[in-house]
């Protein structure tokens, strides 16, 4: 079965290489009997992959049971998984089979496996190692032939360090890992999913399907989607019900998007937040490189204007204030096109002098974009200050959210 056939059979929408890689891993591991651990944020669609593994395996005619470990109370989860004997605890009026007994010969999907209590983890480890389990209130060992596929949205390595998850169980489950990409990393899949949901809700509520304007599509792709596919589906349903105008513009879409960080570039963390030295140094390096690039650009503009004689002192101070504090033009320097020295006698200077290197008059100098650079810098700083909250950043800048989005698209700020 090809990847496209798998997507069609299980209703998977998207062509992202990361998504197709995850499907391919599930396809390859399905015929085996090894355990699989699926990683992914909440809402990315992890529940589809255990079904792929089960249906493409020799166990496809056996029982498939999905279990949400986080939804079962700690006091009853052992009974749910392994069963109990009559009278084993208050309310146990009769014996009950657990999932591992019912699913013998089939597959059990343990969703949110990181939420399992430590005592239950010990019992699960025994099933993985020997296929044996004991019902609650019994001393009789029973056998089961069940394949386990687990999933989690938490960092199990950190949970192990915190003493909340057993390391031996982690390695037994994690024989083959499958990582499901978050929606924000799936590119054009976001709009494909929106169109699919809009079509589905159009049929369900008997209304025309929603259509996104280009600017709204850009916002859809730039948004971080912390709730992933589940959040996108929820927002599409809300708009399908509430919006009379079926063509959605950027302003309308923004009303349905809760604040979420948009900037994917490295940003310095707040003081007091823990961070590794390697990550901190990398952030600082990015910052220094960006500042150096901007200063070099401004320096080229300054030299070009000095050579052309177009730079008046007030403009010089206003547009290059951050450079004049450290820059002095050598009084002996003469532009090539005339013999008039350039002096900046009223400009505050340091005692040291820096000679401006000669530039061939035929060299093309980059067009001045200093005002745009400043605007871009202010937008980035406002977003960083307000942690990606567009409404607050726009208010700080004195512009509308729609104008802010247009500027972010114009300057390629993500």
Domain boundaries, the chain: 3-181, 184-256, 277-368, 371-410
- Mean pLDDT in runs of 10 for the chain (414 residues)? 95 96 97 95 96 96 95 91 86 88 96 95 95 92 96 94 95 95 95 96 95 95 94 96 95 86 40 42 50 62 64 52 47 43 43 44 44 77 84 81 80 79
d(CA 290, CA 85): 67
Which pairs with CB-CB distance under 8 Å and at least 24 residues apart come from 25-32? 25/176, 25/178, 26/52, 26/53, 26/56, 26/178, 27/1, 27/3, 27/52, 27/56, 29/53, 29/176, 29/178, 30/54, 30/55, 30/56, 30/57, 31/56, 31/57, 31/58, 32/57
Record: fold of 184-256: Helicase, Ruva Protein; domain 3 (1.10.8)
pLDDT at 346: 42
Distance from chain centroid for Cα 300: 38
* Partner residues linked to 149 by β-bridges: 36, 109
Q: What is the CATH number of domain 3-181?
A: 3.40.50.300
d(CA 90, CA 140): 20
Q: What is the CATH number of domain 371-410?
A: 1.10.10
Q: Dihedral of CA 141/143/144/145: which sign?
A: positive
DSSP labels, 101-163: HHTTTSEEEEETGGGS-HHHHHHHHHHHHHSEEE-BT---EEE---EEEEEESS-HHHHHHTT
Which residues lie closer than 8 Å to 74 by C-beta, 6 or more apart? 117
């Amino acid at each position: 079965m090809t990847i496209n056939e798998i997507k069609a059979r299980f209703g998977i929408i998207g062509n992202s290489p990361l998504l197709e890689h995850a499907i391919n891993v599930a396809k390859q591991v399905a015929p085996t009997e090894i355990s699989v651990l699926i990683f992914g944020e909440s809402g990315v669609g992890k529940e589809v992959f255990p079904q792929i593994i089960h249906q493409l395996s020799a166990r496809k005619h056996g029982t498939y049971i999905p279990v949400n470990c986080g939804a079962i109370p700690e006091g009853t989860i052992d009974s749910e998984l392994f069963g109990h004997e009559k009278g084993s605890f208050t309310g146990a009026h009769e014996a009950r089979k657990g999932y591992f007994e019912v699913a013998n010969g089939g597959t059990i999907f343990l969703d949110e496996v990181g939420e399992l209590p430590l005592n239950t983890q010990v019992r699960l480890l025994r099933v993985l190692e020997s296929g044996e389990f004991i019902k609650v209130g019994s001393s009789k060992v029973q056998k089961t032939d069940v394949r386990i596929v687990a999933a989690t949205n938490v960092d199990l390595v950190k949970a192990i360090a915190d003493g909340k998850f057993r390391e031996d169980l982690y390695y037994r489950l994690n024989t083959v890992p499958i990582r499901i990409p978050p929606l924000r990393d799936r590119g054009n899949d976001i709009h494909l999913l929106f169109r699919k949901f809009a079509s589905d809700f159009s049929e369900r509520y008997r209304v025309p399907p929603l259509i996104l304007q280009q600017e709204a599509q850009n916002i859809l792709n730039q948004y971080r989607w912390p709730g992933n596919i589940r959040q996108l589906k929820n927002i599409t349903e809300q708009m399908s019900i509430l919006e009379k105008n079926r063509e959605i513009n950027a302003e309308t879409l923004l009303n349905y998007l809760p604040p979420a960080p948009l900037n994917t570039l490295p940003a310095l963390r707040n003081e007091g937040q823990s961070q590794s030295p390697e990550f901190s140094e990398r952030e600082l390096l990015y910052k220094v490189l960006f500042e150096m690039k901007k200063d070099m650009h401004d320096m080229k503009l300054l030299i070009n204007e000095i050579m052309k004689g177009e730079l008046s002192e007030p403009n010089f101070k206003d547009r290059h204030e951050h450079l004049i504090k450290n820059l002095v033009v050598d009084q002996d320097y003469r532009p090539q096109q005339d013999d008039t020295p350039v002096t900046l006698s009223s400009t505050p200077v340091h005692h040291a002098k820096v000679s401006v290197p000669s530039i061939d008059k035929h060299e093309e100098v980059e067009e001045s974009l200093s005002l745009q650079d400043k605007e871009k810098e202010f937008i980035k700083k406002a977003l960083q200050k307000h942690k990606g909250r567009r409404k607050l950043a726009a208010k700080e800048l004195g512009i509308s959210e729609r104008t802010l989005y247009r500027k972010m698209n114009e300057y390629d700020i993500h």
